[in-house]
Structure 1
Amino acid sequence: MPTPSPRTPPREPLGIHVVQISYDETLAAGTAVSEAMERQATYARQLAKLLPGSQVTILLLTRDQNVGGQAVDNLAIRPILYRSWLTIPFVVRRALRSLHANDPIAVVTTQTTHEDGIGALLFRRQTRVPVIAQVHYDCFDRSARAHMLGGGLSGALRWQLSRSCYQRYDAIRVVARLTAAQLAERGWHANIHVIPVPVALIAEAPMPRFAPTRAPHILYVGRLAPEKRLDRWLRVARRIADRIPTARFDLVGDGPERPALEQLTHDLGLDERVHFHGFVPHDRLGPQYQNATVFLFTSEAEGFGRVLAEASAHGLPIVSSRVAGSRDIIEDGVSGYLLAGDDTEGMANRVIELAHDDERRRMFGTAGHARVLRDFSPDALVRQWVDLWRAVAKPDTRLPRSLLTPKRPTWKRWRHIAWSPHSLLRSLEYEVLRGLPLTGRTLDIGGGVRNSYIALFRTSGTIDSVNIDPAMQPTYLADLNQPLAIPDRTYDNVISFNTFEHIADDGTAIREALRVLKPGGRCYFLVPFLYKVHGSPNDYHRHTAWWWHDTLTALGISEPTLSIDPLVWDPSSSGGALRNFGNRRWQKALALCRGPLRHGWNASERLPSYDCSDYALGYYLTGTKQ
């Protein structure tokens, strides 16, 4: 990803940079276009549609050095290597900081609340970039936690560390209502959003066709993994086969449990009745659902049962274990049956009942089809997820494009600023003025020949000045609240340093300053912001970056050339500057050490984010008149 210049933002004004953290290696380059990749591309397109110029980056955590990245439109996949789960927080923090330095991040989403979530929180602590954590499994089910985190002491420690961080996230997305209710009941978080994973097959599913059958096909689709408890599924199949000799059983999917399940199939005498289809691409699953009679699901823990939603969309009645994910999709007794996971006899009876009752099967299938189309529309879920990004996204990304990120506080700068006899604001001002080239005719608003900063410029031409104070020996003695007796388009440059805040009608003064500036001429203004009220003779105004952006562009400054540079060292030093560091230079030098210690170990000229801009002592404004 190219490194954007601080003066050339890479996106449109409302564009934001969203970073997601994932473990899904089907997103990697060189793999077939997966359903997950299509879903992520859909998120990115929706974001760009709502906020043009937005970018989505996925940090793909992997142990495989051969995994490659890829980019599709405004979506980029960036592999991040890690060695063990212990290193993930630090790998994630480092990757986010590197990405943030090149293209400021508006919001981070994590795949879990575990190590990747903790890494994102470490990054948040340094940058204040908000983090949305995701919970895709039933985190209150012990078996589901053991599958995610492992058992024993390490699993328990990982869980305790994860749960202690829940309240630190800015928002939490869950995929099941039960999980949301349990989180809220325990007071673990207040900003919880139930947004199931969009399932493309729901939109693509045809209207279900119901036909009587004498040879029912019982279907399972999904990973052959321990938590799916397919050993129970096969025992239910054995009971059904004993009572329906024509029944056929189809297992679609692959996984680590396949060898054990094939052996169990043989032991149960179901070799001729159970068919292992292996992995079937997502875009070819439709016929599997359409040819089935009943969908049987025996998982002991499920965050969101996407295959249940797909089955319902194709009009399949479902018999399922009662877990978090199935409760949101299946209405017990209306679109399917929910039973205890270990009730193999009850499950077999319900499947046999549906296999024999064509009318009930039609009623359940119709109700399930209508329910998932209503509650799990892929377009609606995509919009909800992207809207959550936008709602949580860092407000600072809506600052004017002309606002630069602050200069990085380095030790080299510290040597010049910390021991300066001037105030911190004046030292930062002199730093940006030193070597300023002024060619042709220049007008200094509020200046005079006695001003100390004149020696800082590289002048090739003349400098006139206007001031109400004759002691400053200005070229024009005038009240800056009134129009100037100077013709339009007279000067090549207009400068004004710490003057506008002392003019009651500063709008008139700014308008007059730009009126006498030639088209193509440059303006250079210094104004205080978080700075104490001071005299000369009165102090009337402090304006935000947005105010200066709108005012200067309205008066003819070209927006692409406008630059608003926040004059700040770091937040704590801004507070000390309001007290002038107790009038002790050594206290000032000591206080300013914090900036380089925290931010100075990087070669880039500017900080990666706008955080310190909130504490700007003043602004340095430059631009070219149209």
Structure 2
Amino acid sequence: MTPVAPVPTPSLAGRRVVVVNWRDLDHSLAGGSEIYAWELARGLREGGAEVELLTAREPGQAAEEVRDGIVVRRRGGALSFYPHTALRLLARRRRADAVVDPSCGLPSFAPLFLRRRTPVVLVMHHVHQEQFSTHFPAPVAAFGRWMERSVMPRIYRRSTTVAVSTSTVEEMRDQLGWTRPVGLLHNGAELPPLGAGDPAAKDPDRIAVLGRLVAHKRVDLVIRAVAILAPTRPGLHLDVIGQGPERDGLERLVAGLGLRDRVTFHGFVDEDTKAALLTRSALHVCASDAEGWGQAVIEAAGHGVPTLARDVPGLRDSIRAGETGWLVPDDADLVTVGGRLTAALTAALTEADDPAVRARHFEACQRWAHHFDWSAMRREARALVADELAKDAPAPVAQLHPGGARVAIMGGTQCVE
């Protein structure tokens, strides 16, 4: 990532900004997109804005609370969240100065419920065309794909749009036919200090999977690879760090493969426990179908852990192949993918056996991870919203991205044209 020169940020004092996100940090299925939404909301609050976060409400969660000066209001479940949010936005139609609307499958279609002049920022983590089929029956999946491909671009045609990675921008162009400019507002990360840890202390037989346990993460492929390698590596052990609806099925798979002594399900853990697990791991594996950005990849890299992953959107952005990890050629056939993953895992573990190689990956991973910082993301988010609110905002200044794509500085973010 090429650093963008800091942009002076006008104060947001007195401005009322609504951030909409399907889940909040305390939701049992919270993941990287929830951390992103919270850090964005924090950035706006740090700029002086009055920030309200609208999310769904899980059983046992409070309907309302204030955290770090941000008002969190929860209503509705997985689907009823959308009509609840529409009503809440209508109620704030004349009070909200700006709305930030991330797409977590589908966004809230905020422009339909606000005054035409109220700025809306659409945040795209990744395109969900393929994932709809993974998570929903065929008719529902078809409806979701149509909404994302046909309805969403029309509703947000006047809204400023940002994505979390170049891969997501490319997906928007290729799969959704998106033609308007898209900014880049990268993720950050909470990391240990550069140089913390000892690569010599890592266990070359210890591998980790980090993230939500949902179908498209394909944790089952990693478990099957461990089963194949177990006879030749007696000490091989997999730590599964995270919680989600697939856990029961994955635990049954582990039992069926006779791997109960080889796989540990840790569930949701606190930051100290996560750090301890990653500190001893030599390798992180991500078999996900696609990501908007590899948040787990960067977290692992911060602890000097390289990632083996499929060469898919998001993961190819967050891994520097050959330096901070390895990318496995993808395929529509998951059996083929599983075979390639197993072969690549064998090679990666062999590399991890060499202390010198392990030390080289450790240093490269930490250096790469420290390119990503939440404070920088919060600063850019403040600049972006302030730019939206400024009546006399200057036109974007075109620049040439080092990778060759045309970009513009848009409120502190890189704008891929």
Q: TM-score surpassing 0.5? A: yes
Residue 340 of structure 1: how far off its partner (Å): 3.1
Contact 1:23 1:62 (8 Å CA) reproduced = no
Listed as ranges, the matches of 1:50-199 within 5 Å are: 50=47, 52=48, 54-62=49-57, 64=59, 67-72=62-67, 74-81=69-76, 85=79, 89-101=82-94, 104-112=95-103, 116-118=107-109, 120-124=110-114, 126-140=115-129, 142=130, 144-147=131-134, 150-164=136-150, 165-169=152-156, 170-184=159-173, 187-199=177-189
Q: Percent identity, aligned pairs only?
A: 23
Contact 2:24 2:34 in 1 (8 A): no
The CA deviation at 1:352 is: 2.3
The DSSP-based 3-state class of the residue aligned with 2:122 is strand
Q: CA deviation at 1:73?
A: 5.1
Pair 1:356-2:353 in alignment: yes
- What residue number does 2:3 align with? none
- Matching of residues 368-387 of structure 1 within 5 Å: 368-374=365-371, 376-387=372-383
Counterpart of 2:400? none
Per the alignment, residue 334 of structure 2 pairs with: none
CA distance in 2, matches of 1:210, 1:13: 44
Deviates more, 1:73-82 or 1:323-332: 73-82
Identify the residue that residue 568 of structure 1 maps to in structure 2. none
1:253 aligns with 2:248: no
- Tell me, yes or no, if structure 1 residue 321 matches structure 2 residue 310: yes
For 1:184-216, what per-residue CA distance to the aligned partner results, in whole angstroms no more than 9, with x for missing partners?
45651423122233322x255762411176762
1:21 lines up with 2:10 in the alignment: no
Q: Structure 1 residues 363 and 66 mapped into 2: Cα distance closer, same or farther (>3 Å)?
A: closer
Aligned partner (choices 291, 295, 300) of residue 302 of structure 1: 291
Distance in 1 of aligned mates of 2:32 and 2:311: 27
- The answer to whether the 8 A contact 2:204-2:349 is kept is no
Secondary structure at 2:99 match in 1: strand
CA distance in 2, matches of 1:225, 1:62: 19
CA contact (8 A) 2:57 2:63 kept: no
TM-score (norm: length of structure 1): 0.54
Instruction: Give the structure-2-normalised TM-score.
Output: 0.78
2:363 is the alignment partner of 1:366: yes
Provide the secondary structure at the position in 1 that maps to 2:75: strand
Equivalent residue for 1:347? 344
Aligned to 1:128, the other structure's residue is in SS state coil
Tell me how far apart the structure 2 counterparts of residues 187 and 156 of structure 1 sit (CA, whole Å).
Answer: 17
Structure-1 separation of matches of 2:143 and 2:32: 34
Which structure has the greater CA radius of gyration?
1
* Correspondence 1:391-470 to 2 at 5 A: 391-393=387-389, 395=391
Q: 1:81 to 1:41 in 2, by over 3 A?
A: closer
Task: Please give the alpha-carbon distance, in whole angstroms, between the structure 2 residues aligned to 1:290 and 1:97.
Answer: 48
Provide the C-alpha distance between the structure 2 equivalents of 1:284 and 1:75, rounded to a whole number of angstroms. Answer: 27
RCO comparison, higher one (Cα < 8 Å, 6+):
2
TM-aligned CA deviation for residue 166 of structure 1: 1.6
Aligned residue in 1 for 2:198: 209
Deviation at 1:71, TM superposition (A): 1.6
Conserved 8 A contact 1:20-1:59 = yes
Aligned match of 1:232: 221
The verdict on how the C-alpha distance between 1:301 and 1:110 changes in structure 2, with shifts beyond 3 A counting, is same
Compute the displacement of 1:162 (Å).
2.7
- Does the 8 Å contact 2:195/2:363 carry over to 1? no
CA drift at 1:72: 3.3
- The separation in 2 between residues aligned to 1:37 and 1:238, in whole angstroms, is 33
Distance 1:284 1:184 in 2: 40
- TM-superposed CA distance for 1:34, in Å, is 10
Unaligned runs of 5+ in 1: 1-11, 398-626
Task: State how far apart, in whole Å, the 2-side matches of 1:187 and 1:37 are.
Answer: 27
TM-superposed CA distance for 1:309, in Å, is 0.5
Distance in structure 1 (CA, Å) of the matches to 2:67 and 2:203: 48
Q: Any idea what the Cα deviations from partners look like across 1:509-537, whole Å, max 9, x if unmatched?
A: xxxxxxxxxxxxxxxxxxxxxxxxxxxxx
Task: Note the alpha carbon deviations across 1:299-346, whole angstroms, 9 max, x for none.
Answer: 122222211100111111221112212111111112111003512332
* Equivalent residue number for residue 563 of structure 1: none
Compared with structure 1, are the counterparts of its residues 277 and 114 closer, same or farther at alpha carbon in structure 2 (3 Å cutoff)? closer
Q: How many residues align?
A: 370
Distance in structure 1 (CA, Å) of the matches to 2:308 and 2:328? 8
Instruction: Go from structure 1 to structure 2 and tell me whether the alpha carbon gap of 1:163 and 1:272 turns closer, same or farther (over 3 Å shift).
Output: same
CA 1:264/1:73 → structure 2, altered by over 3 Å: closer, same or farther?
Answer: closer
Map Cα deviations across residues 426-471 of structure 1 (whole Å, 9 max, x no partner).
xxxxxxxxxxxxxxxxxxxxxxxxxxxxxxxxxxxxxxxxxxxxxx
| Aligned equivalent of 1:541 | none
Q: CA deviation at 1:175?
A: 1.9
CA 1:147/1:205 → structure 2, altered by over 3 Å: closer, same or farther?
Answer: farther
- In structure 2, relative to structure 1, the CA distance for the partners of 1:163 and 1:41 (3 Å cut) is closer
Q: Is the 8 A contact 2:206 2:238 kept in 1?
A: yes
User: Which consecutive residues of structure 2, in runs of 5 or more, have no partner in the other structure?
Assistant: 1-10, 331-336, 394-417
Over aligned residue pairs, what C-alpha RMSD do you find? 3.1
Within 2, Cα distance between the matches of 1:138 and 1:36? 13
Distance in 1 of aligned mates of 2:128 and 2:106: 15
1:62 counterpart SS class: coil
Q: Following TM superposition, by how much is the alpha carbon of 1:133 offset from its aligned partner in structure 2, in angstroms?
A: 1.7
Please report how far the alpha carbon of residue 284 of structure 1 lies from its aligned counterpart in structure 2 after TM superposition: 3.1
* Amino acid aligned to 2:90: R
